[in-house]
């Protein structure tokens, strides 16, 4: 398969340079303590720096504020 060149109109980089992380991340320890983080990068950093004391990461939907029909 041929790679799309940068000058091709089908070449995609990003739709926005704004943050578009729609989730929060709950990092849970084996002792059932947890912390909620706002970015996947933060969750990964905590995971890799905490070694074997962590159990898992839960992906949480962000609470929507405003929008249509919210008065």
Asked whether residue 55 is domain-assigned, the answer is yes
**SS3 state at 1:** coil
7 — pLDDT class (breaks 50, 70, 90): confident
46 — pLDDT class (breaks 50, 70, 90): very high
Asked whether residue 16 is domain-assigned, the answer is no
| pLDDT the model gives residue 36 | 95
Q: What would the two tokens of residue 49 be?
A: 């720096």
Question: Residue 47 belongs to what domain range?
Answer: 23-61
| Domains contained in the chain, number | 1
Q: For residue 6, with 0-12 CB atoms within 10 Å meaning exposed, 13-18 middle and 19 or more buried, which class applies?
A: exposed
Q: What is the mean pLDDT of residues 27-35?
A: 95
Asked whether residue 12 is domain-assigned, the answer is no
Question: In this structure, what DSSP letter does residue 42 have?
Answer: H
Asked whether residue 17 is domain-assigned, the answer is no
Asked whether residue 31 is domain-assigned, the answer is yes
Asked whether residue 37 is domain-assigned, the answer is yes
Asked whether residue 51 is domain-assigned, the answer is yes
Asked whether residue 38 is domain-assigned, the answer is yes
């Amino acid at each position: 398969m041929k790679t799309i060149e940068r000058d091709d109109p089908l070449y995609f980089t990003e739709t926005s340079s704004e943050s578009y992380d729609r989730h929060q991340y709950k990092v849970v320890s084996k002792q059932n303590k947890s912390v909620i983080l706002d970015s996947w990068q933060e969750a990964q950093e905590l995971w890799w720096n905490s070694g074997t004391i962590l159990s898992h990461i839960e992906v949480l939907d962000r609470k929507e504020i405003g929008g249509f029909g919210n008065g």
